[in-house]
Chain A
């Protein structure tokens, strides 16, 4: 059985997109300045693969274009291979966009070739992939049929020979140079190619092509490297449009959970815990750890648990990507454990203490601090996660350690600021005008002032029409 994934570059990037968000925005994956693949919305506007990006922009000004991510595609291919392992141990990759599986031995188990193909299609769909499937007595034959989008499910060698003869030559997956030469000499289908003199073909296209033809027809054997399942499960998914709704995160996570289930089935194993990592727009990670009372394997089960957890969480920052991790596989030959017996009370780790503290005391109560390069005093430091990294920055002028947030308006008498008596301005003005780009623009003249009780204060006068004096900080 051969699976060809013509939309893989697009799906690898977009499969995390919930259907509710899919409407309207046309998407394309580009390589260089050329459209490699595009979705239905883009297609409807006239965008086609192979088109120059500039031409695509002209047709679809709202087109969202992402560069191809080969790493992600490879991961997706391996994910599919891993999932396929639940049906057969002999799975091999046909990069960049294909997977082959030897299924002869599993046919009876899964009800024959037709039902099995339907099952594959459904599973792939749940993971967010669309594939062209073809089956044939030889691996290469099946692969060529899939590439030629024939989608035939053949079990006899004679059928295969007839099917291959009418296959267009571009289904051979050979190099562009050979393909161009075939077109140049007017050879359109595999049958015509097979009729050419063999010595002439070998000289012009190389012996490899003849060998491949023989392998496809079954007159020569073909050895393929088997895909090996990794020891632990890790998969990630980009969210093309950052999401803030738990439901959308869940949708994307489900694609990975289906993948996980296939992986576990292939390993005849279950897990006791898994972790969903949420990457936020500001590059911070949030982790949702789920523990199970007993080892389990079913995606449905995992999904339910995850939904419960997600509903309890408010997403403050949009999520840009998710990753699913599961280690510590437990052998699980039979059915999985009861749905409701997972124990949240099992030993919490120390690191979760802060989460629990926050949950009790209210969000944002436990913080770390770091300096941040910005002229605006209120933005010159920044809250970071507890135990976050440390950094240094060149200091600006004199800055008090204690800042009032927000600054406190001071009374005025005769244009001079008062705070329990007149303030004496010792130094200044230090003028700060900055921050127009994020709506937090300030324009102030800062002074160091001494109050009547000899405290050193940091005060400023608002520039512009509003005016007014404010106390912003206290020097220790």
Chain B
């Protein structure tokens, strides 16, 4: 009977964002509080607002009133809960948290009484949480500094003597004239989280639970209790008081309004007029021979929409960042929903010509959805820091900070921490965690445990497994987002608390990107992209050779030769489409124009693959299946992708046109799609979606197929807008590879580490395409790889000293500078004039870069080791020492040394040396395999260059083997992975016996048996790269 139950608002409640104390997600707390009929719930995490947005979103959904507050414990032991009544109080609390967090160590905070005194007059409320022995002095202090706004919290948890406790608190309250109210000090939403809460305590203390003793909570009473239970525990007036306090807290996070920085608009201009001017200038720059009508109309339309939604300042902010980057010759490109607009093209934020694409701006910036437009800007990875420093300098650290990334427990970290908490030894914990390979999820646990020698049925392991499910997904700490900047007009700390990041001099806000999005707050993503560095370098090399500027805009569009190369999957080094999965798709998809690339980028992704979109699309494209649409409305959405949804936007639009979702609902669907794998919750959309489609005359089959596709999309759906921006980089990099292979190769080498391939593969690919590659050599190399003239007119690549393992950039630059004065006479001369240490010389000798001065590697090392500096140097120069006769290294030794130092060799491939022995073992080479028909048995061996385990391919591992004739793509099915784990993971030279699987140009070898031939390699230093 709810009517006779007293009303109650919980005013002291911690979520798991009070790390290692709270044992429930904010959402769980909100749902439980709503289910119990609480009048309100205050989320009061310890000096943190990190969980409030999640709680806010959940509370809105459940119709529960959420109060924003925080629990603070001062250095002198005073503990209080502070609640925000209005926007001003919220800002003051946010500032207080910022002060405490910035002053404290990473992950902690430090606050004193004078910090609380600063809350005077802000309207913040304070609940004193007395300690075990109520301290009258604390109560008097709170009463004095929060007049009319302070309470004493009576928190009864079935302790040794609740009655006496309540009496003592009453006396305390009476003594200082403060009212008393009931509170729960809630740590979990239901009592069954007690074990997890105990485990969290143990993790926090770094001890096994069994040794935590009285630091553990004595019972599970710190949960959201039934109102009936509360009525038994507390006098009615203490419960009623909670509602009175809740009524005074009217603040909602919805009141937060983002205010754009003001300085971007010069005096005398409005944001709208200024954006209009800049766009106009941009159009004249883009279209010197007159703006096409279509584009002009598009711009006018977009500007009107931007004006209506008042997003001008956002576009101006992004434009300012891009303008800065351009002024420093840092290549950048925007992507994201709003980036592919004509306005962004005019502002130089993106290079995707609106005439080339047919994207509707409204699809990305919608009137209905009250959310900011999304523009991510990628910058050259080696120079992004300059951009970040520019933003800090321009807006100051009070106004600009990075968004947070919430680092959550994953299976392995949870196993580690829980194992320790349950008293397993470090060694057992290591064993457990390590037995979970990089691809194992929680489901693999029982099997792995048995394998690691644990009995899954033993009590400890049963406890661990039970807690593992609960702990996985719990937030663990805040880290910095890769580049999401939040910039405000006023002090940012009044909007959201700021804390120190792990990186010195970096600060992060307490909210992540989902939180920001949920509140409609703007962020600018300043991201790093290696390919942009490579493209900028390649363009510079081309410009230098051609003797005139050469930019992305100068790359000819829609070159058939480029598409022909792509269709043959000749794409090592090309952005995005160089991965093995992409390469095996290219000959089937045969991209022939820019939009095909947009599709190619999006289709080879877990989303479309798991949603089962790939094969239907391929069959339709190859003309095997007819293209049909269930309705005209669906045709409008899916026509450009032949009736198969490939992009995230299409799924949302389908929900709108076919199932009658409002754009707002479709947006919720998108969010749920991103999260369902973690949280579930997509089921409620299923019924709605299917019913909506049935009502509109679609077949159940179609409706369910669409739902399945949505499930498959999950968090991996790729938006068309991103795809379009990426496709442009695909095209530009492919054009460079096709027409300027030497410049492209040098640029990729100079931008390492990046991409899918190691330098050895990039160099081999370039040489296969007829590019001459010359060794790193002190007599010729600069720090970077450079282009040199070659007889046939095509440039040759000269490896730079950057390829020499262990050599510092400063030393490399000194060598180039000293050589410019005059050529080196000897190793001694080199050491002296370039001021090189023995260590530098050793690196150079190891790389074979002293050949011109010292001869073969053995002599080079002898000479390098004999060099002395300073006074000893002069003495050494005078007394000529006897030169030893050292035998030259063998070819094999040279190759090994090349790999050890440079990571590649310009000599023969190591397997060429081993070929006679491999022949005797009846192992074929890659070239021979390429010609074998489908179904033929084959044996081969090669260096493992890559092991990959796509999330989409349940347990299958793809291995790439390389020999002197090319690469072999091997598929290892799950059962073989289990049986031959050791060979698979351990071998550097892997032998495979299997069966050829051929589809057109695409050839795979399906492994039946693996053999480790690494012993043949001796000390060969080729390393494989493992991709997750």
Interface residues of A (CB under 8 A from B): 25, 45-46, 53-55, 57-59, 61-66, 181, 184-187, 196-197, 199-200, 203-204, 372-375, 393-394, 396-398, 427, 429-434, 436-439, 445
Contact = CB atoms under 8 A, between A and B. Distances in A.
B858 A185 contact: yes
B216 A375 contact: yes
B587 to A, nearest CB: 35
Interface of B: 157-161, 163-164, 194-195, 198, 208-210, 213-216, 218-221, 422-423, 427, 430-431, 434-435, 437, 448, 451-453, 459, 463, 842, 845-846, 857-859, 861-862, 865-866, 868, 876, 881-884, 886-889, 893, 981-982, 985-986
A153 to B, nearest CB: 32
A46 B219 contact: no
Given A203-B881, A437-B422, A62 B453 contact: yes
Residue of A432, A436, A439 with most chain B CB atoms under a 10 A cut-off = A436
B881 A429 contact: no
Contacts of A393: 213-214
A204 B838 CA distance: 11
Contacts of A54: 434
Contacts of A197: 881-884
B884 A200 contact: yes
B161 A181 contact: no
A16 to B, nearest CB: 17
B884 A196 contact: yes
B221 A431 contact: yes
9 contacts: A46-B986, A54-B434, A57-B431, A58-B985, A61-B452, A375-B216, A397-B161, A398-B161, A437-B210
A185 B886 contact: yes
B351 to A, nearest CB: 43
B463 A185 contact: no
Contact of B865 (A46, A63, A181, A429): A181
Contacts of A429: 158
Contact of B435 (A61, A374, A438): A61
Contacts of A200: 862, 866, 881-882, 884
Nearest to B454: A62
Given A394-B214, A432-B218, A438-B210, 16 more contacts: A53-B434, A61-B434, A62-B451, A63-B431, A66-B427, A184-B858, A184-B865, A200-B884, A373-B214, A375-B214, A375-B218, A431-B158, A431-B218, A433-B220, A437-B195, A437-B210
A14 to B, nearest CB: 14
A430 B427 contact: no
A55 B985 CA distance: 8
Contacts of A203: 866, 868, 876, 881
Contacts of B431: 57, 61-64
Nearest to A205: B865
B884 A430 contact: no
Given A431-B158, A434-B219, A57 B430 contact: yes
Nearest to A375: B218
Q: Lowest 3 A-B CB distances belong to which pairs?
A: A397-B160, A373-B213, A431-B158
B216 A434 contact: yes
A398 B161 CA distance: 9
B423 A437 contact: yes
A396 B982 contact: no
A55 B859 CA distance: 36
B98 to A, nearest CB: 35
A57 B982 contact: no
Contacts of A57: 430-431, 434-435
B13 to A, nearest CB: 20
Contacts of B876: 203
Contact of B158 (A61, A430, A439): A430
A437 B201 CA distance: 13
Given A375-B214, A397-B159, A55 B986 contact: yes
Contacts of B882: 197, 199-200
A186 B434 contact: no
A185 B889 CA distance: 9
B277 to A, nearest CB: 58
Nearest to A374: B213
A184 B858 CA distance: 6
Given A57-B430, A184-B846, A436 B886 contact: no
B884 A186 contact: no
Contacts of A372: 213
Nearest to B132: A394
A46 B982 contact: yes
Given A375-B218, A434-B219, A186 B887 contact: yes
Nearest to B421: A437
A429 B232 CA distance: 12
A61 B160 contact: no
Contacts of A374: 213-214
A234 B846 CA distance: 51
Contacts of B434: 53-54, 57-58, 61
B706 to A, nearest CB: 42
A396 B213 CA distance: 11
Residue of B160, B194, B195, B431 with most chain A CB atoms under a 10 A cut-off = B160
Contact of A396 (B160, B859, B893): B160
Contact of B889 (A58, A65, A186, A431): A186
Given A429-B158, A430-B161, A438-B210, A58 B220 contact: no
B163 A427 contact: yes
A436 B195 contact: yes
B642 to A, nearest CB: 44
B451 A61 contact: yes
B492 to A, nearest CB: 41
Contacts of B865: 181, 184-185, 204
A429 to B, nearest CB: 6
A200 B866 CA distance: 7
A184 B839 CA distance: 13
A64 B451 contact: no
A380 to B, nearest CB: 9
A196 B859 CA distance: 13
B421 to A, nearest CB: 8
A184 B842 contact: yes
Contact of B866 (A25, A204, A436, A438): A204
B845 A184 contact: yes
A433 B160 contact: no
A430 B159 CA distance: 5
Given A62-B451, A62-B452, A432-B218, A437 B463 contact: yes
A372 B214 CA distance: 9
Contacts of B845: 184
Contacts of A186: 857-858, 886-889, 893
A63 B889 CA distance: 39
Residue of A64, A65, A184, A196 with most chain B CB atoms under a 10 A cut-off = A184
A337 to B, nearest CB: 45
Contacts of B883: 197
Nearest to A180: B842
Nearest to B449: A61
Nearest to A178: B865
B375 to A, nearest CB: 40
A441 to B, nearest CB: 9
Contacts of B859: 185
A82 B265 CA distance: 86
Nearest to B452: A61
A396 B214 contact: yes
Given A373-B214, A437-B423, A439-B459, A58 B881 contact: no
A124 B888 CA distance: 45
A225 to B, nearest CB: 32
Given A45-B982, A55-B986, A58-B437, A65 B430 contact: yes
B866 A431 contact: no
B424 to A, nearest CB: 11
Contacts of A25: 453
Nearest to B890: A186
Contacts of A199: 881-882
A170 to B, nearest CB: 13
